[in-house]
Amino acid sequence: MPATIDEIVETFALLEEWEDRYRYVIEVGKDAPPLPEADKSEDNRVRGCASQVWLRTDIRPGPDGRTTLFFQGESDAHIVQGLVAIIVAFYSGLTPEEIMARDVRELFSRIGLSEHLTPQRSNGVRSMVDRIRRDAAEAAG
C-alpha cells in the first residue's frame, strides 16, 4: 500500500543523511501502484518533464458530496517515480479549492528535498503541479 503524505513526512524527519532520503524516495516510488498501460497515453503524459511521466486524474464526489480529485502517476525513472508518488500522496483526495491552496514545493522545502533536486527535476515537479492545478480548476468549473 502506498505511503500517506503524513507517513512520508514522518519518515523524512527520521532520516538524517541525504543518501537515506534518496533511497526512501525511490522506495516510495516502488510502493506506488503501477499505472495501467492504457493510461500511459499522450493525453496523460506530463509535458515539461525530462523523464516520461504520466498522470491520470479521477474526479469523484467526496463523502460530503463535494468534488474530489484523485491522482495516479508513473515515471520511467526511479527517482522521478518517487517524486510522482509523493506528489500524488500530497494532492489526492482533495477538493479543487484545497488543491489550489497547497503547494508541494513548500513541502519539498520543509522536508529538505528541494535543495537536492536538479533544475531539470524541479522543472518536472513544476510541470506536474501545473497539470494537477489545471485539472483542479477544470473540475471546479
Residue 40 DSSP one-character state: -
Catalytic residue among 26, 32, 49, 80: 49
Return contacts of 18-22, CB within 8 angstroms, 24+ apart.
18/112, 18/116, 21/112, 21/113, 21/116, 22/79, 22/116
CA 126 to chain CA mean position, Å: 11
Q: Catalytic annotation on 62? A: no
Catalytic residues: 49
